[in-house]
Amino acid sequence: LDFELGFNDRLLAAPIPRVAIIAGRLAGTATMGAVAAVWFLVLGLVFGAEIVGGPAGALMVIALSALSAAAFGGLGAALAVRSGQASVVQGTFPLAFVILFLSSAFFPQELMQEPASTAAAYNPLSFIVEGLREPVLYGISGEAILEGLGGIAVVGVVGVVATALAMRARLRAA
């Protein structure tokens, strides 16, 4: 929407680093991810859930939530910068839905049939979800946390590179 209204054109004309424009957006997205994690953890505790990993596990969930929100926000930023239209970014919801269902977010991977099981095995979202799930259900596992961070890194790198290329193309076209 900021592109459609010309707000980002004014930001690009301001004497600030270009990376600060995107980093500011992603910091806001990460904050929203952390707030959402806190909300759901508190809500779970109110209704009797237990965080097996204790306070450290809760902090891991909050940190991973913030990082994953920023990583996926980078993909959204790339689409927004490249297209300049909010409707294009909003139109990717069906794709996001498919990626979500082809992960282990809703179904244990062991119970999935092929080819969904194979897709979930390589889906970065599966690694992120397992990294988030592990501290709550089973306690802190270094392997699950590292796999979650790896999934976040994959999505984040794709988002950063795509956003940088989109920003470069937009600036050349201007």
Per-residue pLDDT at 120: 93
* CB-CB neighbours of 9 under 10 Å: 13
Q: How big is the CA angle at 71 (ends 53 and 126), to the nearest 5 degrees?
A: 55
Per-residue pLDDT at 25: 85
Determine the number of helices (DSSP H) and then strands (DSSP E) in the chain: 9, 0
Closest Cα partner for 57 from 143, 148, 149, 139?
139
Residue 15 and residue 24: Cα distance in Å, rounded?
Answer: 15
C-alpha neighbours within 13 Å on the C-beta side of residue 163? 24
Q: What is the pTM of this model?
A: 0.84
Per-residue pLDDT at 144: 93
Task: Print the domain residue range for 143.
Answer: 2-173
DSSP string, 83-118: H--HHHHHTTHHHHHHHHHTTTSSS-GGGPPTTHHH
Mean pLDDT by groups of 10 residues along the chain of 174 residues: 57 69 88 98 96 95 97 90 78 87 88 91 94 93 94 95 86 73
Domain count, the chain: 1
Per-residue pLDDT at 20: 79
Q: 124-137 and 54-83 helices cross at what angle (nearest 10)?
A: 160
